[in-house]
């Protein structure tokens, strides 16, 4: 049985002071410890990784990053190497978020190189895929998501695929307050799993976790948590408040 993962994507929010205060408040909101049957991760901005990582030690809550570079080191001003993240105890790294793709020009080839760089350093990528509104309206959801999955996973071994996390995030649902329905999300997630099974085998496809992301909040979490296909959530806005994030962790217990 797959354990759901609820991951906080803070995006470009929270100073070190705000981030460290959050961890204490989250612990309190969870009643002191992470409940059984669910995993949780916090992906703060790079500047808060170290102090948040220190505070998360021993809590069972994992540390995640929002991005990394594909190379191990070198003259890449402003970038952060996978080994630098691993050294801080980072376990998960978000790769190919739609904001990276649309605002920073990341294409499938770069996303794939980042996924491979993460695995080289023992990090677990959370690979984001999802269609834009015009693609959904044109009936292209399956083609777009299949292409992103195929290219994103290129060159991986079945063992790596089994460890990977995919976040299905329809772009029109991110930050808009307009979430997909549970049924729609589950249908696309089934399709992704079948595609992975066809390319990497049933065992890897059944082990891989596939989250839903896009306007998930405590009020609608149950709509997604009740589908066994949906292995947790990648949460932006609703992860910024410790009580709300704690409620989401509780909602996805399996």
By the criterion CB under 6 A, which residues form the site for ligand PGA? 9, 169, 174-175, 213-216, 234-238
Q: Which pair of structure tokens corresponds to residue 191? A: 């399709």
Q: Which two tokens stand for residue 245?
A: 């994030």
Which is the catalytic residue, given 39, 135, 160, 169?
Answer: 169
Cβ at position 165, least distance to ligand PGA in Å = 12
User: What phi, psi does 63 have (nearest 5°)?
Assistant: -100, 135
Nearer to ligand PGA, 67 or 81 (CB): 67
Given the residues 97, 99, 106, 223, the one annotated as active site: 97
Cβ proximity to ligand PGA: between 98 and 141 the closer is 98
Nearer to ligand PGA, 13 or 151 (CB): 13
Q: Is 13 a catalytic residue?
A: no
**Smallest separation, CB 128 to ligand PGA (Å):** 7
How far is it, in rounded angstroms, from Cα 231 to Cα 200? 19
Cα–Cα distance measured from residue 97 to residue 168, given in angstroms and rounded to the nearest whole number: 10
CA 203, distance to chain mean position in Å, is 21
Q: What secondary structure, in 3-state letters, does 29-50 show?
A: HCCCCCCCCCEEEEECCHHHHH
Is 113 exposed, middle or buried (CB count within 10 Å of its CB: 0-12, 13-18, 19+)?
Answer: middle
- Minimum CB–partner distance for residue 129 and ligand PGA (Å): 12
DSSP strand E in the chain: where?
Answer: 5-9, 39-43, 62-65, 92-95, 124-129, 165-168, 209-213, 232-235
- Cα 34 vs. chain centroid, distance in angstroms? 18
**Residue 121 known to be catalytic:** no
- For the CB of residue 177, give the shortest distance to ligand PGA in the complex, in Å: 8
Minimum CB–partner distance for residue 55 and ligand PGA (Å): 22
Residue positions annotated with a catalytic role: 97, 169
């Amino acid at each position: 049985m797959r354990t759901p993962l609820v991951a906080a994507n803070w995006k470009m929010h929270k100073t070190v002071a705000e981030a460290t205060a959050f961890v204490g408040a989250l612990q309190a909101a969870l009643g002191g410890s992470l409940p059984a049957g669910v995993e949780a991760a916090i992906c703060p901005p790079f500047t808060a990784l170290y102090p948040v990582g220190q505070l998360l030690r021993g809590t069972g809550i994992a540390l995640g990053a929002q991005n990394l570079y594909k190379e191990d080191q070198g003259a890449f001003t402003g970038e952060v190497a996978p080994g630098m993240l691993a050294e801080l105890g980072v376990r998960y790294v978000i790769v190919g978020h739609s904001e990276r793709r649309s605002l920073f020009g990341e294409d499938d080839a770069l996303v794939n190189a980042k996924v491979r760089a993460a695995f080289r350093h023992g990090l677990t990528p959370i690979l984001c895929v999802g269609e834009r509104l015009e693609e959904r309206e044109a009936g292209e959801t399956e083609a777009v998501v299949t292409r992103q999955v195929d290219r994103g996973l290129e060159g991986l071994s079945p063992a790596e695929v089994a460890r990977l996390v995919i976040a299905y995030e329809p772009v029109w649902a991110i930050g808009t307050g307009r979430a997909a329905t549970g049924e729609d999300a589950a249908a696309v997630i089934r399709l992704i799993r079948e595609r992975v099974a066809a390319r990497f085998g049933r065992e890897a496809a059944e082990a891989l976790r596939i989250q839903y992301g896009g306007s998930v909040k405590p009020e609608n979490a149950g709509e997604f948590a009740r589908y066994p296909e949906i292995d947790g959530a990648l949460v932006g806005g609703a992860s910024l408040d410790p009580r709300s994030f704690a409620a989401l962790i509780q909602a996805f217990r399996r």
